[in-house]
Structure 1
Amino acid sequence: METFLNMLDYMKSIFITLLLALGVYYAIVAGNFFLGDRRKLKIKKRTAVKVFLSFVIAIFLYRVLAAGGFINTLLFTIAVAIVLSYFLNPLVNMLEKKKIGRGLGILIIYLGIILMFFILFKTIGPRIGDEISSLARNLPRYINEIYDLSVGLYEKLGPQIENMPIDIASIEESIASGFDNLKDVLGSSIVKVINSSVRFVSRAINLVLIPVFSFYFLKDKAKYKAAIVKSLPKRYRRDIMGLGRDIDEVLGQYIRGQLIVCLFIGVATALALLFIGVDFAIIIGMFAGIFNIIPYLGPIIGLIPALIFAVLEDPTKVIWVIAAITIIQQVESNFVTPKIVGKSVGLHPTVVMVGVLIGGGYFGLVGMLLAVPTIATFRVLYRFMSEKISKMKDEDIIPLD
């Protein structure tokens, strides 16, 4: 019964789309009746059919995606495989230039990745497992220590701010209730992480499909590219292909370079904290490396856990942590990033900062991560449109009078 109702819902959407298409068509016909030949809006039947079918396919995909289930999981798997192919394609091309076939080159890269993960698992895997277990076991104690530290700091500064027109009691109650809520949130988060891990393992087949899909995307890249090019309208084919190359040139260097920079930050931070003697150094290093991909705000976010654990262990370590992180960030910003990432994006720092804040405000962490690539893409589109508009001739524009 539910399937029948869903089918009726699909049919209703298609019927409404058909009515709208007919309405637009007859509106154009009626408008052309009162206009001269030069002003008439002409739409070919083939174009109209393509537009209508595109709307029907878009509605169907929207309904399928909204319903969730296996299709969503499969599409997500394919999307991840495409992204993985995008990152590995330069390596495959490099091996292809050395007279190594694409299939064999992909297998070599896969074996290299497996070997790298095996080495990491055997070397730092046990240490990461121990740190995660220790952190989960001692997390309530750390929260209590942070709370006691905050109360002690308030008791020291309290006499100096008693005369301020602020309701200190209510602030103290808010802080206490905030920490209580934080305990509950962290506890429920741990449970959610465990449940998510179980679901993740139960869907492990998708992990197997990702490299399989990626293998064929990389191996048959020329076939996929030819099919996409063939599907483009001949009139706009050259422009769309040129635009795609420009976007790929800007985003490819930036994204791959940022991943290398994040790896550098993560490894350097972990090694520095291990040398200083801060607990959970590897986890903090991974945290700092992941968040470093967020421009300007990422390094600050990555510094916070290191400072918290340094304060809880030995306040004198805070100075060493700040010094180490500062040196790492200076090396990254002055040497590593200019060398690897370069000026591929070419955005002003103010534009980047505003974009990150807007992306974070609307879409959270994902918006902050995608802010710079999105702005860079719009910048390429803007340049493309400006160039096309500047080449337009006056006679190409239909007069209104």
Structure 2
Amino acid sequence: MELRKHKKIILFGLVLSCGIIFILAYFLSKSFNTIVNVMIISFILSYTLSPIRDTFIIKFKVSKRAASILVILLILGIVASCIIVIVPALFKEITNVSNIFDNISNFMDEVFRKFNLNNSTVSNVVYNEFLERGNELWVTFTENSVDNLIGFSDNIISFAIIPIVIYYFLCDGNKIYNKILLFLPTEKRGLVKKFLYNIDKVLTRYITSQLFLSGLIGVLTFILLVVLKVKFPLWISILNAILNIIPYFGPIFGAVPAVIVALLDSPIKALWVIIGMFVIQQLEGDILSPKITGDSTEMHPLVIIVLLLIGEKFGGFIGMVLVVPIAVIIKALYDDINYYLF
């Protein structure tokens, strides 16, 4: 009798909590979305960083709290270094962005003069249209950058909390996990633990494979940029490695900053960067990614490409990053349900 009463109290508490959450979501949708985003981002980052925390625990023989602090300090140090080193340099180079269009214009003039295209109506129309589209793209990019910067500054306090939330996830993740399991019936906890264990195993394999692939692409990009003497080779390589988390499409996104920076020097250098990045993309897309990503997820490359297109349609860049891990989780659940229940 007491047990049934206790369960009713818990059920009432859950219903009441859900009701309060939905009310808050209705009246404070923007603030609620920010809170949810902070929690989701913190959980994903803490889950990704947990292998580094475990490595610190084993290598330095420290407690979980100390290892978590070391991980947070490491990430904050990397972010601070990027801000201190890259941002001032980028603002300095942005003042010279007109050089890009001047270099392209001079290059096109030289090509036109060399092949006697100055008197061709078609070539002149194409030339003017190209410059006009380039200016439109730059104006759009500038406006979007300003809007994104304003949006980030509005939520800067919320995002500043992320390292603290990550710390607690890294330190007390197991405690939170065990507390959540208490809401389940005793006889179901073992089955749920098996489900979550298998999801964790598959997801860890996928994340490890993507980090390895991203690191390899980052190294290849760095070598290419150093050989071609492109500015900011280290930071562009790191950015390309991060973008490469998106299978197949990542190298395309990562090539854009390298090409833009190369254009500050000359169109010829930008052309060589395009060729080099294309070779890296072919290596990644045709050889490495199908093998590494396909083996880690046990999905056909065509399925992954379709998932990426769906993720981009519904969630943009974030959707492309998250859609494959979500699919991995759903696949692991499907396999487990088939195995344990049917």
TM class by shorter chain equals: 0.7 to 0.9
Q: Of 137, 157, 166, which residue of structure 2 is paired with 1:182? A: 137
CA distance in 2, matches of 1:63, 1:141: 54
Q: Of 65, 82, 90, which residue of structure 1 is paired with 2:25? A: 65
Q: Of 221, 224, 237, which residue of structure 1 is paired with 2:189? A: 237
- Which residue pairs with 1:139 in the alignment? 97
CA distance in 1, matches of 2:55, 2:62: 9
User: How high is the TM-score relative to the length of structure 2?
Assistant: 0.74
Q: Deviations over 1:28-55 (max 9, x none)?
A: xxxxxxxxxxxxxxxx999999778756
Q: 1:143 to 1:383 in 2, by over 3 A?
A: farther
| Amino acid aligned to 2:97 | L
1:217 aligns with 2:169: yes
Q: Of 254, 259, 262, which residue of structure 2 is paired with 1:302? A: 254
Q: Deviations over 1:11-70 (max 9, x none)?
A: xxxxxxxxxxxxxxxxxxxxxxxxxxxxxxxxx999999778756644542342342455
SS in 2 for 1:213: helix
1:81 aligns with 2:27: no
Structure 1 residue 345, shift from structure 2 partner? 1.1
Structure 1 residue 284, shift from structure 2 partner? 3.6
Q: 1:185 to 1:330 in 2, by over 3 A?
A: closer
SS in 2 for 1:138: coil
Structure 1 residue 350, shift from structure 2 partner? 0.7
Gaps of 5+ in 1: 1-43, 163-167, 392-401
Gaps of 5+ in 2: none
CA distance in 2, matches of 1:312, 1:336: 31
CA distance in 1, matches of 2:56, 2:263: 49
| Amino acid aligned to 1:62 | F
1:254 aligns with 2:206: yes
Q: Deviations over 1:166-209 (max 9, x none)?
A: xx97x8997676445434323323432443454355x2x752x3
Q: Deviations over 1:339-365 (max 9, x none)?
A: 987832121111111111122123222
Q: 1:368 to 1:327 in 2, by over 3 A?
A: same
* Percent of aligned pairs with the same amino acid: 27
- Which residue pairs with 1:106 in the alignment? 68
Q: 1:242 to 1:158 in 2, by over 3 A?
A: farther
CA distance in 2, matches of 1:76, 1:269: 32
CA distance in 1, matches of 2:117, 2:149: 40
Q: Of 369, 372, 381, which residue of structure 1 is paired with 2:324? A: 372
RMSD: 4.4
- Asked if the contact 1:146–1:312 (Cα under 8 Å) also holds between the matched residues in 2, the reply is no
1:277 aligns with 2:232: no
| Amino acid aligned to 2:87 | G
For CA contacts below 8 A with separation 6 or more, give which structure has more relative contact order.
2
Q: Of 178, 186, 195, which residue of structure 1 is paired with 2:150? A: 195
Structure 1 residue 274, shift from structure 2 partner? 3.2
Q: 1:348 to 1:147 in 2, by over 3 A?
A: farther
CA distance in 2, matches of 1:279, 1:105: 35
CA distance in 2, matches of 1:270, 1:230: 49
Bigger Rg over Cα: 1
Q: How does 1:159-178 map to 2 (within 5 A)?
A: 178=133
- Asked if the contact 1:311–1:318 (Cα under 8 Å) also holds between the matched residues in 2, the reply is yes
SS in 1 for 2:296: coil
The range that moved more, 234-243 or 153-162, is 153-162
Q: 1:186 to 1:216 in 2, by over 3 A?
A: closer
